Amino acid sequence: MPSQRPVSVFDIIGPIMVGPSSSHTAGAVRLGLIGRSVLGAPPETALIELHGSFAHTGKGHGTDRALVAGLLGFATDDPRIRYSLDIAAETGLHYQFIETDLGEDAHPNSVRLTLRGGGREVEVIGASIGGGMIEVTSIMGYDVHFTGEHDALVVVAEDRPGTINAVTGVLLERHINVAFSRVERKLRGGEAIMIFETDDIVPHELLEAIEDFYWVRWARHVPKVTG
């Protein structure tokens, strides 16, 4: 079970943002930002699948503009959010919105992002859970759990002995403290995903050091989006 944190006054009054809704706007922007970071490049195409309330009322609440704004790298208080769809067209980001059903266990404010850019493709599922807070629940089909409250290191690698120690060793060498970690795999001996939420920014040279391990498929730094 994920660890519980104390409720902050900012959870109650919500984030500084462009309205109208913290769940449909600020949370959606943050989900777009997470997707962009996991891709590790500006997205060139985006399939945006809206579930539940996001699908039914999202357009009226600006969810479409907010998600695209996050994919463009805009912060939650950026006035350009209102014009993000036009800006996407100007900058060459091709997007498509469709409605989908992610299952009864999915939060009603959920989205699946399939992003391509820089020769890469990723799939990210997440939800806006209220007050601008978010939860990422899947990356590339792996079950994950992180909220964007910390910087995160995401590593996809072969499932083999010593992988966790090797990655944490690189973090230790650079004096980066791990706040939370989680490892998920689909099949023993296949591939696994490692999420390390850190108290510090993960520098680019650290990503390069981790990707130098021949058994690592890719590594990404996901900057915190809340707090």
Give the Cα separation of 175 and 199 in Å (integer). 10
Q: Which amino acid is at 66?
A: A
Does 8 map to a domain?
A: no
**110 and 45 in a common domain:** yes
139, 165, 182: which is the final residue of a domain? 139
Residue 197's domain is classified under what CATH number?
Answer: 3.30.70.260
Q: Is the backbone of residue 80 left (phi > 0), alpha (psi -120 to 50) or beta?
A: alpha
DSSP structure class, residue 102 = -
Question: What is the domain extent for residue 126?
Answer: 16-139
> Tens digits of per-residue pLDDT, 42-96?
999 999 999 998 888 766 668 999 999 999 999 998 999 999 999 999 999 999 9
Read off the tokens for 86: 């036009």
Distance from CA of residue 165 to its chain's centroid?
Answer: 24
> Tens digits of per-residue pLDDT, 93-127?
999 999 999 999 999 999 999 999 999 999 999 99
Helix (H, G, I), strand (E, B) or coil at 72: helix
**111 and 197 in a common domain:** no
104, 139, 174: which is the final residue of a domain? 139
Give the Cα separation of 27 and 6 in Å (integer). 19
Q: Which whole number is the average pLDDT over 183-202? A: 90
